[in-house]
Structure 1
Amino acid sequence: MGMTMAVSLPWDRRVIEASSQSAPDDWLGDVTGDRKCFFDFPNYKQGFPLVHIFNYINTYASAYGVGNERVGTVGTFYGGGPASSIFMGFNDEIWSRYSVGEYAGLDDSDGRPYTRNVFNRPTSDDSILLAKGLQSPNFDALRVAMPLVGIERLQEMGTKFIMCNNALNSWGFELEARGKGAAADIDAVLRANLLPGVTVVPAMVIAIEKAQEAGLSYNKQ
């Protein structure tokens, strides 16, 4: 069994500035509505955690008549190693600079490693990832679904995405160990290239607890 490790370092002002908030738990104010759920996914799992967030929002609308404005969801970017979800929270610059597709084993339909954040604005061609997750040939329903479950699209539907500061620090050290530069320089680049709307929190283990205290349901992916 693999082990996920995040190095715990002090919570400091640079993280507060990076996330544009004044206190560690202010992100909870971005989760609105009377149906709220925290989706916990330390691994990217070919994008299926994003599918499940969309399914939660869409099912409330279609089966229960509860509009998006009444549904609040949270997604998580953290963990360590190539299977983690940490890199889902960065823009295309990071994916290209640090060869994220190659690192994570994420290949497009032509078998080439992605050099863009495929999870942010996916196209129907990117449904190959869902097919791989199902260990199935690709099919039309997946091609239709894939553009609907991108991070940007889910943000438009009210989803809040958060990233663990400890995991972010840890990935910087890992990239340094892989010869990508000095950890301090890597850290600055990473924090400057978060996806819009992604908030860095002190530690995901605390964010999960805070979400429970705030009344959010918990869904482990």
Structure 2
Amino acid sequence: MHATDSAPRRNLFGRLAGAFTVGMIGLTSAHAEADTAQADNTDWPGKLTGRHRQLVDAYGINAGFPLAYALTFLQTNPAPGSATSVVVLRHMGFPIALNSEIWAKYKVGEAFHIVDPETKAPAMKNPFLNPKPGVLIVDDMAIDRLLGKGAVFGACHMALVFMSKMLAGNAGLSADEAAKEWTANLVPGVSLIPSGTWGVNRAQEAGCTYCAGG
């Protein structure tokens, strides 16, 4: 993804991140709203295989580089079964976890000023899911391809609740309806976990080294 590095743009993302943080503080009932969704994933990331294990903390989209880091780690440990990449999609990096239907319906790209590298317009689909060849920096950094290579993905439930509430009006739905729809439309293979910070902790407890994805 390419973005104009301007002061107004930086200020916009600063305001979004600030609003996100403040909003999270007020979501004291968020876990109660989706206990069922979380119950199956409290043992995430499970028993990891491979001698080499790395967590990529994707707290921002950062032009897709968190996905590129996960791919690079796998490619530089090429022996079969020798390495596992774990990626936590949290905070402003959470939208990578959503399928293209949600991106279009809720205008995710427009809301968070994410430009589609193919159209050069606000993304109306998840640019990191099933992209055309040559669109991304490296084709294999697409989330579907990483999942196919055995990468483990966790998506922050707290971010889902906050962002779906923020954009519910774009789809003419209530906050609860939007949260349920987003939960049902995560990229297949991505686990919904209690929170991103929870996932960062659990991945390291499972033996992963830490890589800041931005």
Say whether the fold is shared (TM-score over 0.5): yes
1:70 matched to which residue of 2? 82
Structure 1 residues 30 and 191: CA distance shift in structure 2, 3 A: farther
What do residues 84-132 of structure 1 show as CA deviations (whole Å, max 9, x unaligned)? 11111111110110112222321343433322211112223423xxxxx
The alignment's TM-score, normalised by the length of structure 2, stands at: 0.79
1:171 positional shift: 0.9
**What residue identity is the alignment partner of 1:22?**
D
Structure 1 residues 204 and 71: CA distance shift in structure 2, 3 A: same
Pair 1:51-2:59 in alignment: no
Pair 1:159-2:181 in alignment: no
**What residue identity is the alignment partner of 1:198?**
V
Pair 1:102-2:114 in alignment: no
**What residue identity is the alignment partner of 2:54?**
C
The alignment covers a number of residue pairs equal to: 192
Could you tell me how far apart the structure 2 residues matched to 1:196 and 1:46 are?
22
Could you tell me how far apart the structure 2 residues matched to 1:89 and 1:112 are?
20
**What residue identity is the alignment partner of 2:40?**
S
Q: What is the RMSD computed on CA atoms of the aligned residues?
A: 2.3
1:121 matched to which residue of 2? 130
**What residue identity is the alignment partner of 2:187?**
L
Structure 1: which 5+ residue stretches go unaligned? 128-141
Per the alignment, in what secondary structure is the counterpart of residue 73 of structure 1? strand
2:212 matched to which residue of 1? 220
Matches within 5 A, 1:202-213: 202-213=194-205
Could you tell me how far apart the structure 2 residues matched to 1:101 and 1:125 are?
20
Are 1:30 and 1:160, in contact at CA under 8 Å, matched by a contact in 2?
Answer: no
Could you tell me how far apart the structure 2 residues matched to 1:120 and 1:179 are?
21
2:31 matched to which residue of 1? 11
2:56 matched to which residue of 1? 39
1:22 positional shift: 3.0
Could you tell me how far apart the structure 2 residues matched to 1:148 and 1:23 are?
26
Structure 2: which 5+ residue stretches go unaligned? 1-10
| % same residue | 26
Structure 1 residues 9 and 165: CA distance shift in structure 2, 3 A: farther
Pair 1:86-2:94 in alignment: yes
1:23 positional shift: 4.8
What do residues 194-221 of structure 1 show as CA deviations (whole Å, max 9, x unaligned)? 1111111112212222222221111112
Could you tell me how far apart the structure 1 residues matched to 2:134 and 2:162 are?
32
Structure 1 residues 199 and 150: CA distance shift in structure 2, 3 A: same
Structure 1 residues 44 and 59: CA distance shift in structure 2, 3 A: same
Could you tell me how far apart the structure 1 residues matched to 2:35 and 2:53 are?
26
Structure 1 residues 217 and 109: CA distance shift in structure 2, 3 A: same
